[in-house]
Amino acid sequence: MPAATSTRKLHGRAFFESIGSPRLILAPMVDQSEFAWRMLSRSFMTPETSKDLLAYTPMFHARMFTDTPKYRESHFQPIRAPLPSPSDAYQNAQYEPSHLYLDGNPQVDRPLFVQFCANEPNELLEAARHVQRFCDAVDLNLGCPQGIAKRGHYGAFLQEDWDTIYNLINRLHLELDIPVTAKMRILETKERTLEYARMILSAGASIITVHGRQREQKGHNTGLADWTVLRYLRENLPSETVLFANGNILRHEDIAKCLEATGVDGVMSAEGNLYDPSIFGEAPPIGQEGREYWRSKDGKGGYRMDATLRRYMDIVHKYVLGQDPPPRRPLFVPGDPVDEPASKNTTVQSGPQKRPLEHDELGPVPTKKQKRSKAEKQEKCTSPNLCSMQAHLFHMLRPLVSKHTNIRDALARCRSGDMAVFENILTMVEEAVKSGLIDYERMTPDEREALMPEAPPEDLTKDPGSLATVAMCKRPWWVCQPYVRPLPREAME
């Protein structure tokens, strides 16, 4: 296959530099990297560092995106009106700033790559033409290892079909107005992985993201990403190749470690970001924590869950719903007057008023899926930003709802788009965090120490095991923190 060339647009490192050479990358995640979540992740960056974060949309199915207007409208909302079908380059060029809505809005959501899965070049090209006006590049998913990708013959299940991959990328490289990139997994050997990466680059990919796990590494068999393969690629691919790394990013500190270990241009986080959306941002200086960031007596800490959830809710109100957020009281910090004793009671908000609500008043927790009325079915939420909220909260609040099961039960009953109910969840979380902060102030030094992370082992070349990693990553339950998966041998045990 001869190398493809194109002079119609910036390519490779020139393109990468034109979007600010971002070192931090928010991964494409199915139904989880939508606009509101990208905005939340970007909100922890300073104005000076905002362009250092590149975000990807969720993975979209190219054929469905092209053939099904409802699918397209319920997943990608760059303008307030439906996108024209078929794609119309002239009309797309006529949009004024007042027409722009959420996805790819140059005021708030750039740089942005849109990712598709596909196995047919024409379908991928048509899907890409729908979005090229509203993003900086189109990415081809070659990494999805799930069963649905195997059945649909896309994602990581294309990696034996190099001709198809070449044709998919090359078609976009030659006929799309913006660059094409690709996200791949490592193969069975580093040498074979290098051949694979060279083929993808020869097809015209401007950037390749390499997930340092093989296709079989998923679920209980996820294991660790192999950074040594990424270092091998860095040392053996041309120096002008733009390379991103994906895998093993649990905390902000891991980003610098990955950059040093692999020599890549940027580091991508997926699951680490879902559990801690502040993962890309720097901690505020000591003494400038305000009410959002909690720091212990020894200087360790993180963003509070109530503060992060409040940011998220305010973003949904402002951008997705186009309305002002409800009036909010300042978040509690130790030293504030305690109006009423913190308790295990939950609270519920009805309009601007709040009242304590006993757990029994919430009603029984459903033990099986409840039938919905015809009216409820007709009012089904279709906004990708509203439909993703419940899943995001279960990820982000995982340590908190493990302790406060009443909040977990209330969250389980939330309906997509019911903002009043999610406001109730926020109120409950604020009360839970308040109680945790009050309890912390009353703890002994030894009790406080037990809540904080342990020192990392001296030999960082050896895998400490997931239990030791949990000990190094843990934070108090009211602080956003990573979720550590058991290693395969531990899961089997």
Burial of 91 from C-beta contacts in 10 A (0-12 / 13-18 / 19+): exposed
Instruction: Round to whole Å and give the CA distance between 55 and 104.
Output: 10
Instruction: Round to whole Å and give the CA distance between 205 and 183.
Output: 10
Alpha-carbon distance values, 197 to 94, 126, 159 (Å): 38, 25, 11
Amino acid, res. 313:
M
- When pLDDT is averaged across residues 398-416 and rounded to a whole number, the result is 96
| Residue where the block lists tokens 């104005």 | 47
Mean pLDDT of the chain, nearest integer: 87
Q: Band the pLDDT of 466: cuts 50, 70, 90.
A: low
Q: Please determine, for residue 1, whether its predicted confidence score (pLDDT) is greater than 70.
A: no
- Look at residue 213 in the predicted model and tell me its pLDDT: 94
pLDDT in tens, 289-319: 999 999 987 788 999 999 999 999 999 999 9
Q: Please determine, for residue 352, whether its predicted confidence score (pLDDT) is greater than 70.
A: no
Q: Phi/psi class of residue 198: alpha, beta or left (left: φ > 0; alpha: ψ in -120 to 50)?
A: alpha
Token pair, residue 249, equals 């990013």
| Residue where the block lists tokens 């796990």 | 213
| Residue where the block lists tokens 């959501």 | 109
Query: Which residues, at least 6 apart from 77, have a Cβ–Cβ distance to it below 8 Å?
Result: 35, 101, 102, 103, 383, 384
* Most confident among 79-83, 306-310, 459-463 (mean pLDDT): 306-310
Instruction: Round to whole Å and give the CA distance between 187 and 451.
Output: 40
Number of other CB atoms surrounding residue 99 within 10 Å: 11
| Residue where the block lists tokens 């530099």 | 17
- Look at residue 437 in the predicted model and tell me its pLDDT: 96
pLDDT in tens, 15-41: 999 999 999 999 999 999 999 999 999
pLDDT in tens, 168-202: 999 999 999 999 999 999 999 999 999 999 999 99
Q: Band the pLDDT of 367: cuts 50, 70, 90.
A: very low
Active-site residue (options: 144, 258, 473, 480): 144
- Look at residue 378 in the predicted model and tell me its pLDDT: 46
Among the listed residues 397, 425, 388, the one whose alpha carbon sits nearest the alpha carbon of residue 35:
388
| Residue where the block lists tokens 């996108």 | 83
| % of the chain with per-residue pLDDT over 90 | 70
Instruction: Round to whole Å and give the CA distance between 210 and 244.
Output: 6
Catalytic, 480? Answer no
Instruction: Round to whole Å and give the CA distance between 123 and 137.
Output: 17
Query: Which residues, at least 6 apart from 237, have a Cβ–Cβ distance to it below 8 Å?
Result: 194, 197, 198, 201, 243
Q: What is the CA radius of gyration of the chain?
A: 23
Instruction: Round to whole Å and give the CA distance between 54 and 266.
Output: 9
Query: Contact at 8 Å (CB) between 52 and 25?
Result: no
Burial of 213 from C-beta contacts in 10 A (0-12 / 13-18 / 19+): buried
- Look at residue 348 in the predicted model and tell me its pLDDT: 38
Q: Coil, strand, or helix at residue 10?
A: coil
Q: Please determine, for residue 347, whether its predicted confidence score (pLDDT) is greater than 60.
A: no
Alpha helices in 157-203 (DSSP H): 162-175, 190-203
Q: Please determine, for residue 327, whether its predicted confidence score (pLDDT) is greater than 80.
A: yes
